[in-house]
Copies of this chain bind each other. A is one copy, B any other.
Amino acid sequence: MLESIIIEKEKARMRSPILIEGLPGIGMVGKLAADHIVKELKGTMVAQLYSPHFPHQVLMQKNGLMKMLKYKFYLIRGKKNDLLVLVGDVQAMTSEAQYEVAGKVLDYAQRKGCKLIFTLGGYGIGKTIGGSRVFGSATDKELIPLYSKHGVIFGESRGSIIGAAGLLLGMGRIRGMKGVCLMGETHGAYVDAKAAEEVLKVLSKILGIKINLEKLSERARDGERFMKKMEKEAEKQREALTKTKGETLSYIR
């Protein structure tokens, strides 16, 4: 495998789908929000993306089966626009990899007719706040008034948007797609279900849909607990691999 591949599970026709991305990142805000949308709105998995830029390992599951690290695309039927939600286990690890994967995601979304993109993430401020602001950064001027009225704050977040949440929009724009990155204000040092909730509130207003937010924090807690456990086990295997005396021999440098 030299490049990322997308495997369609269902050759679904989509009605002007809107791409919504939520991958692991600052405060896990984007991932929590996108995963929640998929569960609450009962998305159908329509495609998977595998990439040589993801870590070279598979995850062992409780049911005795393994699974590859991947991105998944879920389809949610809408009135005017379908939603195509991108969720995943990881982000690619280098610049070149991020650009490659983002290109493949956009290829697929564009082929399905997508012209509008929302990427979800956190905006780290390094402190705890009581507030609940959602910042936005847009590809095109005309989008700003449209979303400002639903509470998105434009022009106050500065610096850079790192990873898929920024690249999908930046690269999408070159292809004529438009969109906004919605960032929930967050401390940055812990998983933040509250920030994800604020992002979802704004997004549901923008899209004119209803998303039940009741189970969000519960899912965030479960997800965090599960991931910590998985990571602890993964760490153990990495250590074992490093310690093996033969290892320095076999991985001759």
Which A residues contact B (CB, under 8 angstroms)?
1-3, 5, 7, 23-28, 31, 50, 52-69, 89-91, 93-100, 102-103, 122-126, 136-141, 144, 154-155, 157-163, 166-167, 169-171, 173-174, 181, 186-191, 224, 227-241, 243-253
Contact = CB atoms under 8 A, between A and B. Distances in A.
A72 B137 CA distance: 22
Contact of A26 (B91, B189, B237): B237
A64 B155 contact: yes
A239 B187 CA distance: 11
Contact of A1 (B102, B166, B228): B102
**5 nearest A-B residue pairs (beta carbon):** A124-B240, A24-B250, A159-B233, A188-B240, A64-B154
B137 A66 contact: yes
A25 B244 contact: yes
7 contacts: A57-B163, A58-B166, A60-B137, A64-B144, A124-B239, A188-B239, A224-B245
Contact of A124 (B140, B188, B236): B236
B190 A59 contact: no
A54 B236 contact: no
Contacts of A245: 189-191, 224
A227 B240 contact: no
Contacts of A53: 95-96
